[in-house]
Amino acid sequence: MCGISGIFSKNKLSGSSILNSLKSIKHRGPNNTIHTSFFDKEIHFYSSQLSDKRTQFDLRNSDGIQANNWIGFNRLSIIDLSNNGMQPFYDNDAKISFMMNGEVYNFKELRNEFLSDVDFISDSDSEVAFQLYLKLGIDFVQYLRGMFVIVIVDYQKNEVNIWRDRFGIKPFYYFLDEENFIFSSEIEGIFATDLVQKEINFKHLAYTFYLNSSFAPNTIYNNIYSLEAATQLKVDLSNFKSEKNQYWQLNYQPNHQLISSEEFLNDVDKVVNLSSVSDVKQAIMLSGGLDSGLLAYMIGQKNSDIDALTIYNESVPEQNELAFAKSNALNANLNIKAFEIENQVDLQTIKECCFAEEEPNSSPEPAYFLTKKAKQNNYTVLHNALGLDELFYGYGYYNQAKKLEKYQAFLWKPFRYFLTGSKRNKYEEISTFGLEATPFIMRSFSSWKAIQQLFSMHGSADWEHPISVLMNKVKSTNINFEKMPLLKKISYLDFYYYISSHHSLRTDSPAMKNEIEMRFPYLDHLFVQKYFNCSFLDQDLSKENNKSFLRKNVQTILPKDVLSMKKKGFSMPTSKWLESVNLEQDFPELKTYFGENYKNWIDHPSKKWFLISTSLLMKKK
C-alpha cells in the first residue's frame, strides 16, 4: 500500500513539483519516500532511505535538477518491511520502471509458478507483479488477484501504462493535455504540483449530489479524471495521446447448478485466507451482520491474533449493533474493541471529517473514525466485509425492484396518481429509466428536479439526467447488460458503479488519511464471477429476509441472534452534529456558489452535510 505520483511533461521541470505532490499524500505512505527522474538517458534516485542495492542520492538535491519525467512513491510497509521492498522498481537496463499501490494477494503462487528462475531483491508482492510483467507482457494483469493500481513507464518506447484493479478499490486520478500527463493516488496530489488549476465542474458536482458520488472517468473538477475499474490506460509520451482498454468485465453466464454449503464456505475460506497475508498488525471491521460475522469466523479459524474493531452510537437504539457485534466476535474467538461515536462535535471535527474525503458526501464517513481508532491502537491493516450485499441481493431495493416488476404491468400508471411529493418523483423516474435504476433513485435524498433548481445559476436546465448518462455508459461498455435478468442488472450496477465510485472511494480515502490499509476479501474477482453466474439466486430472494442463500449457508456457524437480526446499517449521528452549525454564518460562500437557492435545500441532514462538505472542499488549498 502506498501513494504514487507522476509528472510527464514536454517542458523540463524541477523536482519541487513531484516533492510537493508526495508531501500532500504523505499519509498514504508514511514509512519511506523516494522519487526519481529520467534525464541524460539515465534514472536518477532521490531519497534519504534506500536499499544499499541502489544508487543513493540526497533528497534535497532534486530541486535543482531539470527533467521531463518524474515519478514518486510514498510507502506504507505491509509485506517485506525492509527497504528492499521500496519502489519504484527498475529492470536490469533501467529502461522500465514500476510502481504499485495496493496488494497482489496471490504473489507467492505466481512467484512459484512463473518466476522460479528470477533473482529477486525483495520478498514483496509488488516485485513479483513487476517480474511477471517483464516475463508475460501486458497479459500479466490477468493473473493478479487483489487490489491495485500499477504504473509502468517504458523509457525506450516512451510510454506509460496504468492498470486499475477490477473493482476500482484503489484510486487513480490524472490530468492529461497536449503537453502534460500528471497523476496521483489522490486529487490533492495533482493540485499540489501547482501545474494544474483547481476548477469545479458544477454539472458533475450536481451529479454527485444526486448519485452520492461522481462516476469514473469524471470527477467534480474540470480536467481531472478517475481511471475506470478494470481498465488499462496507455499514454504516448511523444504526443500525449492516450487510449484505454477494458481488460476484464463481469459477465453473466447462467449456471443453474446448485452450490452446497460446503462448497460455498470453502470458497469463502479461500478468499479470506488469500487476503490475510501481511507482516503487520491486522484487525477486522466488525458489525452485527452476517457478512462481517462470516468474515470474522473464517479469520478466527486460522488466526485468533487478529482483533475485531467496531463503532456504535447509543442515541439511535434501532441502529445499535454492538450486542450483535460482540456476539459475532465471541463466536469467532476474536478479541473485540468497541468505540463510541460522540453525539456532539465541534466545527473543527466536521471539517476534519470532510477533508478526509476526495469529494462531497451526504454524511460523515464511519470508516474515518474507526480507522482513526485503529491507528491509535497500532493496527495497519483492516478487513472489510463489502461485497456480499451486492452479490446476494442484501439491500432493500432488490426486493423493491422485484415487487415493482411484478405489479408494474397493470398497476403502474394508476398507482402513481396516489403518490405525492418526493415519492411521486421517484416513481416517475423509475418509470422513465427502468427498474434497474431503482437503487440510484431510492438512494438519492433529492429528486433531480430539486438539484437542478439548486444549481440553476450554473445552467442546470440543459443538463442531462445523471441516470441517463450512467445507463448509456453501462450499455455501451457491456453489450450483454440488456440480456440480464432484473436482479442481475442491479447487482451488476452495484459492482460496476457503486463499489468503485462510492463504497471503496468512501473507505479508501478516509482510511489512508489515518495510514490504514483497507482490504476487501469478498471482492476477489473469481469469487464474485462464480456467484454472479448463479441463476438460482434470483428465485431465492425471500420476502422476509434478503440474502437467503447466504443465510442458509451460515446457519451452522453464526450465532442465532445474528441470524435472526434484521438488516440495520450503521448511521452516523449527522443531525445531532449539525445542530450547532449555522450555514449562513459558518459557510457564507454557499451564497456565491448557489445564490439563495441553498436555503430551500436544508430540510434534511444529508442535504446540509453535502453543502458543508462541498463548501469545505472548494476552499481547500
Please report, for the domain that includes residue 285, its CATH number: 3.40.50.620
**According to the annotation, is 561 in a ligand binding site?**
no
81 and 194 part of one domain: yes
Buried b (16+ CB within 10 A) or exposed e, 426-461: bbebbeebebbbbbbbeebbbbbebbbbbbeebebe
For the chain, give me the number of helices (H) and strands (E)? 25, 18
Question: What pLDDT digit, counting tens, does each position of 563-577 carry?
Answer: 988 877 777 888 889
278 and 241 part of one domain: no
Single out the residue in 246, 279, 301 at which a domain terminates: 246
Question: What pLDDT digit, counting tens, does each position of 160-195 carry?
Answer: 999 999 999 999 999 999 999 999 999 999 999 999
Q: How many domains does one find in the chain?
A: 3
**What is the per-residue DSSP string for 73-111?**
EEE---SS-SGGG-S-EE-TTS-EEEEEEEEETTHHHHH
Residues 6+ apart with CB under 8 A from 609: 361, 362, 363, 364, 574, 578
188 and 300 part of one domain: no
Backbone angles phi, psi at 79, to 5 degrees: -120, 130
Q: Reply yes or no on whether the pLDDT at 54 is more than 60.
A: no
Spatial separation of the C-alpha atoms in residues 47 and 181, rounded to whole Å? 23
Question: What pLDDT digit, counting tens, does each position of 104-143 carry?
Answer: 999 999 999 999 999 999 999 999 999 999 999 999 999 9
Burial class (CB in 10 A: 0-12, 13-18, 19+), 476: exposed
Q: Where are the beta strands (DSSP E) in 185-330?
A: 225-226, 231-236, 241-246, 282-285, 307-312
Q: Return left, alpha or beta for 581; rule: phi > 0 is left, psi -120 to 50 is alpha, else beta.
A: beta
Q: What is the CATH number of the domain that holds 32?
A: 3.60.20.10
Residues 6+ apart with CB under 8 A from 262: none
Is 458 among the domain residues?
yes
Is 150 among the domain residues?
yes
Is 304 among the domain residues?
yes
Return the higher-pLDDT residue of 442 and 217: 217
412 and 288 part of one domain: no
142 and 275 part of one domain: no
Is 294 among the domain residues?
yes
Q: Which three cell numbers stand for residue 322?
A: 454492538
236 and 371 part of one domain: no
Of the given ranges (28-42, 128-142, 267-281, 437-451), which has the lowest mean pLDDT? 28-42
Of the given ranges (36-40, 90-94, 353-357, 534-538), which has the lowest mean pLDDT? 36-40
Q: What is the pTM of this model?
A: 0.95
- Quote the domain boundaries for residue 484: 408-492+582-618
Question: What are the respective helix, strand and coil percentages of the chain, to the nearest 5?
Answer: 45, 20, 35
- DSSP label at 239? T
CB-CB neighbours of 591 under 10 Å: 14
Is 613 among the domain residues?
yes
154 and 289 part of one domain: no
CB half-sphere exposure, 165, CA atoms < 13 A:
29
Q: Which three cell numbers stand for residue 226?
A: 478517475
Is 188 among the domain residues?
yes
Question: What pLDDT digit, counting tens, does each position of 587-618 carry?
Answer: 999 999 999 999 988 888 999 999 999 999 88
Single out the residue in 246, 276, 292 at which a domain terminates: 246
Question: What pLDDT digit, counting tens, does each position of 196-225 carry?
Answer: 999 999 999 999 999 998 989 999 999 999
Backbone angles phi, psi at 300, to 5 degrees: -65, -25
Q: Reply yes or no on whether the pLDDT at 58 is more than 70.
A: no
Residue 537 has what pLDDT? 86
**Which amino acid, 442?**
M
Residue 385 has what pLDDT? 96
90 and 189 part of one domain: yes
520 and 557 part of one domain: yes
Percent over 70 (pLDDT), the chain = 94
Which helix (H) or strand (E) element contains residue 395? Answer: none
Spatial separation of the C-alpha atoms in residues 279 and 299, rounded to whole Å? 16
190 and 321 part of one domain: no
466 and 333 part of one domain: no
Is 513 among the domain residues?
yes
Within 309-457, residue ranges assigned H as helices are 322-332, 347-355, 366-376, 388-391, 396-416, 421-433, 438-443, 448-454
| Average pLDDT for the chain | 90
Rounded average pLDDT over 342-362: 90
Q: Is the peptide bond before 217 cis (omega within 30 degrees of 0)?
A: yes
93 and 236 part of one domain: yes
Within 365-420, residue ranges assigned H as helices are 366-376, 388-391, 396-416
Return the higher-pLDDT residue of 97 and 408: 97
Residue 53 has what pLDDT? 44
Return the higher-pLDDT residue of 271 and 428: 271
Residues 6+ apart with CB under 8 A from 592: none
Single out the residue in 246, 275, 299 at which a domain terminates: 246
Is 480 among the domain residues?
yes
